[in-house]
Structure 1
Amino acid sequence: MSRQMSFSIITLTMIGFMFFGTVRAADFQNLTAQELKTKMDSGGSVMVVNPLSDIEFNEGHIPGSVNIPFHLMPTTDQLPEDKSTPIVTYCLGPKCIFYKKAAMLLADRGYPHVITFKGGVPAWVKAGFPLEQKGALAKTEIPTVNADALNGMLARVQIVDIRSPSLYAMGWIPSSKKIPLGLLSAEYADIPKDKPIVVVDHAGKQVLVAGRFLKSKGYDDVQRLQGGLMVWSRKGFALEP
């Protein structure tokens, strides 16, 4: 199956779950950090899932949790065969939308005991519990570029769009190379090194870690779009369908 066809199947599946699912985020039990720690230490059967990219997961995650990037969840075989197994989803705190989306998707896949940990990594750390890291990135500063400046330099840079495939429906900046953040560690070598790189996401929240990852792989001139595609679109700049 081609990568383009895989993207299409994943995108349509995700859109179906998000718009036609019957479960709302408010329907899930939510745990505190201490409640989650107690549940994990009890020895019972529970899966704790982080639905972010492997790059973000490696930056710091709850020990014992499993990384299943959200865009792979509709087709993953990492979920338990026993659908009565409790599954807890978490990410980077209340403003991180992926723990909610993952919970709703899991419920729609037939898992009746889905629980959320809304506080995520920040609440876990605040409670005094340790994180596990696997090859965390150096805290390199990645310069920002605003939409007006980027619009005047498109011919001189390579745009790398790291959004989830489900967001491509709003369009993308012309000549973008589309590599979802969850695939970046596997496909970054496809990005040419003969131009400066500008990393683009939906709202400017994930580009820092993506930029640091590319820096660690030898891309010397990396910038990130301030405000993401939301700002670019609001300004009326060109988007390809």
Structure 2
Amino acid sequence: TTPGGPGFVLLDSRSTHSWDQGHIPGAVHLPTALIPEQAPALLDRSVPVVTYCWGPGCNGATRAALALAELGYQVKEMLGGFEYWVREGFAYDTWQGPERRDADPLAAPVTGACGC
């Protein structure tokens, strides 16, 4: 993490092809199958990790969280995954550069706040 940063590492556990298609800015890319081998070199055990995958229909973030927990990391899952990040209108990066889509009115308010 960086000073003034969020206090956690955001980890994208999808394949390289999926990462290239789009990922959350600032995320670390580490496919689930590579976690046991590469996590110790990429992640600090003292910093919490938040995993994400495609979306609610995918259990990739859950499997990544389990793999990290088994290695002693503090871990949580990001609900909604990449799908809802994009559907709620947040910017994302692709292999071609930054992109952003309008918010989906079924996932986020078109104007104003959600009132949660």
Q: Please report the TM-score for the alignment, with normalisation by the length of structure 1.
A: 0.36
Q: Can you list the C-alpha shifts for 1:116-169, whole angstroms capped at 9, x where unaligned?
A: 112011111122211100149xxxxxxxxxxxxxxxxxxxxxxxxxxxxxxxxx
**1:64–1:104 CA distance, 2 compared to 1 (3 A):** same
8 A contact 2:32–2:67 mirrored in 1? no
The answer to whether structure 1 residue 134 and structure 2 residue 95 are counterparts is: yes
1:79 matched to which residue of 2?
42
Unaligned stretches of 5+ in structure 2? Answer: 98-116
**Structure 2 matches for 1:52-67, cutoff 5 A?**
52-67=14-29
1:115 matched to which residue of 2?
76
1:98 matched to which residue of 2?
60
Q: Which is bigger in relative contact order (C-alpha 8 A, separation at least 6)?
A: 2
Any idea what SS the aligned residue of 1:52 has?
A: coil
| Aligned amino acid, residue 85 of structure 1 | V
The whole-number CA distance in structure 1 between the counterparts of 2:35 and 2:96 is 24
How many residue pairs get aligned? The number is 94
Unaligned stretches of 5+ in structure 1? Answer: 1-41, 137-241
Largest Rg, 1 or 2:
1
The whole-number CA distance in structure 1 between the counterparts of 2:31 and 2:6 is 24
8 A contact 2:51–2:78 mirrored in 1? yes
The whole-number CA distance in structure 1 between the counterparts of 2:11 and 2:21 is 15
Identity %: 38
Runs of 4+ in 1 over 4 A off after TM superposition: none
Alignment root-mean-square deviation, CA: 2.0
Q: From the two aligned structures, give the one with the greater helix fraction.
A: 1
